Amino acid sequence: MNSLALNIKSKGPFELNLPKKATDKFHLSALKLTDIPQIVSLLGPTNINSIDIHKNTSSLPNPYTLSDAEWFVNKCIVEYTKTLQCNIWAIRNSNEEFIGCIGLHEILKEKYAVDDDQDKKLFNESYEIGYYISSEYRGLGIVSTAANFICNEIAFKELHLDYIIGMTFVNNEQSHNVLKRCGFKLVKLLKGVIKKGDEKMRDVYLFIKEREVEQTHNILLFALMNLGQIPYQIKQSLVSVSIHY
């Protein structure tokens, strides 16, 4: 991340305060070499549950191999040690096991086939958050809590960003619910803007969340959203949140 240099203190660990129904403890922390086998186990073709993760993400290699995991983890470690930046965190259980991942990324504009000039401008100034988690840990509020933490404590408080944009595939209801629980509002449908592998172009929903500021500003943004408009002309750093890496 060139324009959003994240301080090394953002490596964590960060404890996640989950709803009462969760009896185990979970936290976020930096990637490490010992995560590699667990990542392959989670995302590799031998895990039938990885199909759902790959279906709802856009950038994870599929099939996912040991080489993919080694490249990913080593890339993260290099960033931690040489640039003192951390923009990717492992989601861990109380045994320090890797069970998922979450991170902030600059949007890869070539990933999206958008024709609207305002959409192009938005993507040109945006960052996105990607996340996935093992199927056995879903329904506990882990991803919602992690995403809310990254938005509020990292994107808003540490980076002083004003807006967060969220994009999810239209059939990914779990991600829609994650964003809504984090305070996002549905703005519009973007038709045929992204392609994964040999698939046809897919639709995504665009959500928006703003950092809490003056109440009058909140009311204005809400009104603009209801009119189907996004305040692109406000030249402030934007972040985009989505289910896909």
pLDDT digits (tens, 9 = 90+) for 75-119: 999 988 887 778 899 999 999 999 999 988 877 777 778 888 888
- pLDDT score of 240: 46
Mean pLDDT of 195-211: 84
Beta-strand pair 238-242/163-169? parallel
Q: Which CATH number fits the domain that encloses residue 189?
A: 3.40.630.30
- Residue 107 falls inside a structural domain: yes
Strand partners, 100: 91, 133
- For residue 197, give both structure tokens: 């592998």
CA 67 vs. chain centroid, Å, equals 23
- Residue 47 falls inside a structural domain: yes
Per-residue confidence band for 149, with pLDDT thresholds at 50, 70 and 90: very high
The closest of 147, 43, 226, 28 to 218, measured between CA atoms, is 226
The structural domain count of the chain equals 1
- Residue 2 falls inside a structural domain: no
- Residue 149 falls inside a structural domain: yes
User: Percent of the chain, pLDDT > 90?
Assistant: 48
157: domain range?
A: 8-242
- Residue 94 falls inside a structural domain: yes
Answer whether 226's CB lies under 8 Å from 116's CB.
no
- For the chain, give the mean pLDDT: 82
